[in-house]
């Protein structure tokens, strides 16, 4: 008998680097980039964001590599992340991942609005502001919503994603591949253990990892693995709930 399984998203367990309508993965339009100005965030909010005034800017905690702020306006609130040392490509990939999950209309994610460069270096992303609730969300509801997202986000291009992205600030390669074992071995385990060896000189992890990659195939005998949209960096810090108690997932590193 052949078993059918969906895929779950796991964060990397190696030492960390510095601290659609239904998704068929056709060619996606680039996420809209803002023109450079003295303050492109406020410029967008006061034009395309439909606000006539910004009534307050407050820092929001929780991140470790980006600065986060809530912008309150007469047109509602916006959530803005900035990073003075990284160009727009990281936030561009995040926006594409958020948009892919948002378009499944299954689990709640903040809708991305704009990505662009800052005047003196770095970049920003503007997205929907979600008022969080006091609890982390019901785990059974979270599991059901994730399963719905996986079903709605089937990929007909195989395993991968239209763009490379990052887990935190660590690069993640998403080149399309028709075989899950090859994709996971080369672009997940293989790439991560090579980063660990290059940064920390840990040949033991590298050798053990290569041995695991070479012996993965028997673990998946008689199992059909279907490519479907994954969050890609799903851990407790990227899961919360809105004020109604519905689960919300954040900061993706999507792939299928």
- Just list the catalytic residues: 233
First vs last Cα of the chain: how many Å apart? 25
Tell the burial category of 246 from Cβ atoms under 10 Å away from its Cβ (0-12, 13-18, 19+): middle
Contact yes or no for 228/155 (Cβ under 8 A): yes
Return d(Cα 103, Cα 101) in angstroms, integer.
5
- Residues 40, 115: Cα–Cα separation, whole Å: 10
The CA-atom distances, in angstroms, between 23 and each of 153, 177, 218 are: 5, 16, 30
Q: Exposed, middle or buried: residue 153 (CB in 10 Å: 0-12, 13-18, 19+)?
A: buried
Report whether 172 contacts 189 (CB < 8 A).
Answer: no
- Give the orientation angle of helix 203-214 with respect to helix 191-200, to 10 degrees: 170
State whether residue 22 is helix, strand or coil.
coil
Alpha-carbon distance of 12 to 136, in angstroms, equals: 22
User: Under a CB-based contact definition with an 8 Å cutoff, are residues 28 and 155 in contact?
Assistant: no
């Amino acid at each position: 008998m052949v078993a059918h399984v969906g895929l779950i998203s796991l964060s990397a367990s190696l030492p960390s680097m510095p601290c659609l309508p239904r998704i068929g993965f056709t060619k996606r339009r680039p996420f809209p980039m803002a023109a450079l100005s003295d303050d492109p965030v406020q410029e967008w909010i006061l034009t395309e964001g439909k606000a006539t005034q910004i009534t307050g800017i407050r820092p929001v905690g929780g991140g470790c590599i980006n600065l986060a702020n809530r912008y309150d306006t007469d047109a509602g609130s916006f959530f803005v992340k900035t990073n003075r040392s990284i160009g727009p490509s990281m936030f561009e990939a995040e926006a594409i991942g958020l948009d892919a999950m948002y378009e499944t209309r299954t689990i709640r994610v903040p809708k991305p609005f704009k990505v662009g460069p800052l005047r003196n270096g770095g970049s920003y992303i503007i997205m929907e502001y979600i008022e969080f609730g006091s609890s982390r969300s019901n785990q059974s509801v979270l599991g059901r919503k994730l399963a719905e997202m996986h079903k709605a986000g089937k990929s007909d291009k195989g395993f991968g994603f239209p763009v490379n992205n990052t887990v935190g600030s660590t690069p993640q390669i998403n080149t399309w591949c028709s075989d899950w074992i090859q994709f996971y071995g080369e672009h997940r385990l293989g790439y991560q253990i090579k980063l660990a060896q290059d940064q920390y000189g840990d040949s033991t992890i590298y050798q053990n990892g290569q041995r695991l990659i070479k012996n993965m195939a028997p673990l998946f005998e008689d199992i059909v693995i279907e490519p479907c949209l994954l969050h890609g960096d799903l851990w407790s810090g990227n899961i919360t709930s809105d004020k109604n108690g519905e689960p919300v997932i954040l900061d993706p590193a999507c792939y299928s």
